[in-house]
């Protein structure tokens, strides 16, 4: 999937060309105030659109990794099972400390793999909140 950014052509119409044909009751100061207000509104709208597009792209990228996340979570169960079996085998042959350590880290790793996507969602929401401020 490739992203293509398109350039948009924008035509700028000078203020005088637009309003000189129409008789205006606005003073020069009022025209400047209206121009500033319109410019600020356009800039705010454009920035909001850019932010919305960036958020949409980020959500698509995160969604693209869902199969990989599910694969890693699915693989974590058999790996943890093998490590737990290995830990019990080590206990059986007399290496109790190594066996218990293997059991402990297998359990911690499995639980961590199951919670990793939730932790990432929390981090992403914190990042979005920091950007919004």
Return the higher-pLDDT residue of 47 and 91: 91
pTM of the model: 0.52
Q: Tens digit of pLDDT for each residue in 54-106?
A: 667 767 777 787 888 888 889 999 999 999 999 999 999 999 999 999 999 99
Q: Is residue 34's pLDDT more than 80?
A: no
- In whole angstroms, what is the distance from residue 87 CA to residue 106 CA? 9
Q: How far apart are CA 62 and CA 13, in angstroms?
A: 41
Contact 109/80 with Cβ under 8 angstroms? yes
Average pLDDT in the chain: 79
Q: Give me the half-sphere count of Cα atoms (radius 13 Å) on the Cβ side of residue 69.
A: 15
Confidence (pLDDT) at 124 = 80
d(CA 100, CA 35): 73
- Under the banding of pLDDT at 50, 70 and 90, the label for residue 111 is very high
pLDDT at 41: 75
Instruction: State in Å, rounded, how far the first CA of the chain is from the last one.
Output: 32
Do residues 91 and 99 make contact, with C-beta atoms less than 8 angstroms apart? yes
The answer to whether residues 109 and 76 touch, using CB atoms and an 8 Å cutoff, is yes
CB 117 within 8 A of CB 69: yes
Tell me the two tokens of residue 104.
């402990």
């Amino acid at each position: 999937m490739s992203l293509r950014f398109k350039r948009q052509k924008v035509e700028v119409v000078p203020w005088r060309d637009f309003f000189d044909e129409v008789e205006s009751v606005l003073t020069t100061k009022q025209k400047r105030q209206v121009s500033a207000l319109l410019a600020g509104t356009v800039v705010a709208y454009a920035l909001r659109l850019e932010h919305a597009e960036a958020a949409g792209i980020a959500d698509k990228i995160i969604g693209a990794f869902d199969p990989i996340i599910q694969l890693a979570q699915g693989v974590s169960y058999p790996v943890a099972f093998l490590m737990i079996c290995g830990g019990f085998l080590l206990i059986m042959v007399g290496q109790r400390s190594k066996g218990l350590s293997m059991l402990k880290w297998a359990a911690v790793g499995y639980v961590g793999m199951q919670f990793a996507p939730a932790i990432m969602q929390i981090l992403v929401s914190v990042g979005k909140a920091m950007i919004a401020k």
